[in-house]
């Protein structure tokens, strides 16, 4: 698939811009605007409420869902439970980001519970990933210098990206939301997640070319997500089947 993925990713990106999928994000309280801006830049339509009273209405209107566990509390847990239930009822795909679950045992336990409820994709960094047991069938995305997308024994590695991304709070959270965007338009979550990581990594590289530090990297990343086209993907994608 490595020869094919860039073409698929380029075609999916075009489709995002044409169909403008709605993605509801149960986002932490730290980076909601950054994540919403990133999705808008890419061409999707984000919504962000985490209140239990309203989240069901928002998920019912969405094409895909992201569940991020940052700044978790009792009300967010309740809202997440409702949101995942509505997504299941309506057959909407969702991605799970167990942000910082390595800091908090109750959060790690909640992430494990949610994995049993059938997310299409798990996105986690290495420290988070190592704590969790991923059920068969769930696409597991481990992000880092090299991103690894794995499902049922097949795996892809993506080496696009830029070191400044690690200095900007919320780039990992945004990459999870970008996965949800691609889930909204691509039925195969392995393809969707792989395409998302390629697109996000190339946008980071484009941003890194003009940024003079983490502060200027952030607006440059949003600009790159908006300005990135299929031609950039075909030229710059670095994705390979992993050799085990």
Nearest to 31 by CA among 151, 191, 168: 168
Tell me the per-residue interface mask from 149 to 188 with its own copies, x by CB under 8 A, - otherwise: ------------------xxxx------------------
128-166 b/e (C-beta count within 10 Å ≥ 16 → b) = bbebbebeeebbbbbbeeebbbbbeeebbbbebbbebbb
Minimal distance, residue 184 CB to its own copies, in Å: 17
Does 98 bind its own copies (CB under 8 A)? Our answer is no
Could you tell me if 119 and 138 are in contact, meaning their C-beta atoms sit under 8 angstroms apart? yes
Number of Cα atoms under 13 Å in the Cβ half of residue 128: 26
Task: Kindly tell me which residue out of 15, 20, 48, 81 binds its own copies, with binding defined by CB under 8 A.
Answer: 48
Asked if 145 contacts 56 with a C-beta cutoff of 8 angstroms, the reply is no
* Choice between 148 and 166, CB closer to its own copies: 166
| Dist. CA 196–CA 166, nearest whole Å | 17
1, 7, 17, 51: which one binds its own copies (CB under 8 A): 51
Of the two residues 108 and 121, which places its CB atom closer to its own copies in the complex?
A: 108
Task: Choose, by CB under 8 A, the member of 54, 113, 130, 242 that binds its own copies.
Answer: 54
Give the residue, chosen from 92, 107, 123, 142, that forms a contact with its own copies under the rule CB under 8 A: 107
Cα separation of 118 and 113, whole Å? Answer: 10
Residue span binding its own copies (CB under 8 A) among the ranges 44-52, 142-150, 155-163, 181-189: 44-52
Residues forming contacts to its own copies in the complex (CB under 8 A) are: 29-34, 36-37, 40-41, 46-54, 57-58, 61, 70-75, 100, 103-107, 167-170, 212-216, 218-227
């Amino acid at each position: 698939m490595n020869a094919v993925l860039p073409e698929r990713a380029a075609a999916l990106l075009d489709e995002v811009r044409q169909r403008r999928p709605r993605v509801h994000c149960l986002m932490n309280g730290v980076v909601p605007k950054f994540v919403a801006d990133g999705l808008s830049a890419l061409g999707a339509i984000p919504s962000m409420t985490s209140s239990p009273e309203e989240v069901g209405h928002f998920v019912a209107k969405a094409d895909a869902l992201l569940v991020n566990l940052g700044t978790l509390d009792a009300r967010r847990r309740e809202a997440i439970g409702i949101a995942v239930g509505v997504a299941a009822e309506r057959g909407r795909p969702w991605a799970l980001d167990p942000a910082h679950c390595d800091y908090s045992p109750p959060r790690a336990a909640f992430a494990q519970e949610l994995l049993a409820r059938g997310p299409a994709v798990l996105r986690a960094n290495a420290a988070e990933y190592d704590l969790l047991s991923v059920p068969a069938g769930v696409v597991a995305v481990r992000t880092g210098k090299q991103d690894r997308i794995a499902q049922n024994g097949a795996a892809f590695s993506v080496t696009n990206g830029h070191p400044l991304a690690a200095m900007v709070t919320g780039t990992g959270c945004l990459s999870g939301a970008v996965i949800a965007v691609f889930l909204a338009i691509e039925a195969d979550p392995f393809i969707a997640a792989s395409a998302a990581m390629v697109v996000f990594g190339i946008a980071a590289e484009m941003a890194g070319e003009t940024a003079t530090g983490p502060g200027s990297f952030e607006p440059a990343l949003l600009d790159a997500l908006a300005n990135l086209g299929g031609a950039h993907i075909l030229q710059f994608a670095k994705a390979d089947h992993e050799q085990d």
